[in-house]
């Protein structure tokens, strides 16, 4: 069984690239960010203060996150409810970034993530997959891009959906999220020593996909 870990900051294109590669290689795609988002949704709905660690620790005991697949697409289940359609809001992403720094939140998801890798060939993306969740992954990719490029991609995505967007605000949000994810005490976002660095700033999706598949061919 093979495992591929793709880590990197928000907006680097991880999920688009990971989905495409998983399809090509016939691997199961596991989006771990979606799991942190599901937990964040629970905290938001419960009106929990993101700075109150004791309340968050206690709440974790009442949260069960699992995943399922529908037509090959990952669905995230929060306490029996499919919340896949509700976790993409900016508010949920920001809450996820803040609360994923707590040990109890990370511990609640670690076994689920590791168990998934025991069942099939998987491609898992997140922030700490290569460094922490799957330290023995067959291939580790650290996918990044400049803040400007990531902000512009997010801006274009929102405009395309007909939503309002402010490039400067998005850029600030991305910087804040990078800082939170890279400076937390446990499992911070960083490139694993044995990860291949891919900077997608000047690359098309196809180029990134081809690069990762070439790297996989080398280790297969
Ligand atoms: O990738 P996505 O934006 O969906 O992730 C939301 C948040 O979840 C990230 O900002 C990060 O704080 C957290 N996360 C994490 N570890 C992972 C995946 C996501 O801490 N493996």
Q: Tell me the per-residue pLDDT of 84-94, one tens digit each, with 9 for 90 and over.
A: 999 999 899 99
Does the pLDDT at position 72 exceed 90? Answer: no
Q: Would you say 135 is a known binding-site residue?
A: no
CA distance 123 to 105: 22
- Any atom of ligand 1 within 6 Å of the Cβ of 9: no
Q: Is 32 in the pocket of ligand 1 (CB under 6 A)?
A: yes
The string of pLDDT tens digits covering residues 192-209 is: 999 999 999 999 999 999
Q: What is the CA radius of gyration of the chain?
A: 17
Q: What is the mean pLDDT of residues 13-34?
A: 95
pLDDT value at residue 175:
95
Q: Whose CA is nearest to atom 15 of ligand 1?
A: 127
Residue nearest to atom 10 of ligand 1 (CA): 97
11 among annotated binding-site residues:
yes
- Residue 6: pLDDT band (50, 70, 90) is very high
Count CA within 13 A, CB hemisphere, residue 114. Answer: 12
pLDDT at 90: 86
pLDDT of residue 62: 95
Atom 2 in ligand 1: which residue has the minimum CA distance? 33
127 CB within 6 A, ligand 1: yes
ipTM topping 0.90: yes
What confidence tier does 131 reach under pLDDT thresholds 50, 70, 90?
A: very high
Is the C-beta atom of 37 inside 6 A of ligand 1? yes
Instruction: State how beta strands 65-70 and 73-78 pair.
Output: antiparallel
Quick one: pLDDT band at residue 11, thresholds 50, 70, 90? confident
Which stretches of the chain are DSSP H helices? 14-25, 32-45, 53-60, 90-99, 103-119, 147-160, 167-183, 205-219
Extract the tokens encoding 153.
């991609």
Tokens at residue 70, please? Answer: 């529908």
């Amino acid at each position: 069984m093979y495992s591929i870990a793709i880590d990197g900051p928000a907006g680097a294109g991880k999920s688009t690239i990971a989905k495409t590669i998983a399809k090509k290689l016939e691997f199961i795609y596991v989006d771990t960010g979606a799991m942190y988002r599901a937990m964040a949704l629970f905290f938001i709905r419960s009106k929990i203060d993101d700075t109150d660690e004791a309340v968050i620790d206690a709440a974790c005991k009442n949260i069960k996150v699992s995943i399922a697949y529908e037509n090959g697409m990952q669905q995230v289940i929060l306490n029996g409810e499919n919340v896949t359609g509700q976790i993409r809001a900016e508010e949920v992403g920001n809450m996820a970034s803040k609360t994923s720094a707590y040990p109890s939140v990370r511990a609640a998801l670690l076994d689920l993530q590791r168990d998934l890798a025991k069942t099939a060939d998987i491609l898992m993306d997140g922030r700490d997959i290569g460094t922490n969740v799957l330290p023995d992954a067959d291939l580790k990719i650290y996918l990044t891009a400049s803040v400007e490029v990531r902000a512009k991609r997010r801006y274009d995505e929102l405009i395309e959906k007909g939503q309002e967007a402010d490039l400067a605000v998005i850029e600030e949000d991305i910087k804040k999220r990078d800082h939170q994810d890279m400076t937390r005490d446990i499992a911070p976002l960083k490139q694993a020593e044995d990860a291949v660095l891919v900077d997608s700033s000047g690359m098309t999706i196809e180029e990134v996909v081809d690069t990762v598949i070439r790297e996989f061919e080398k280790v297969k």
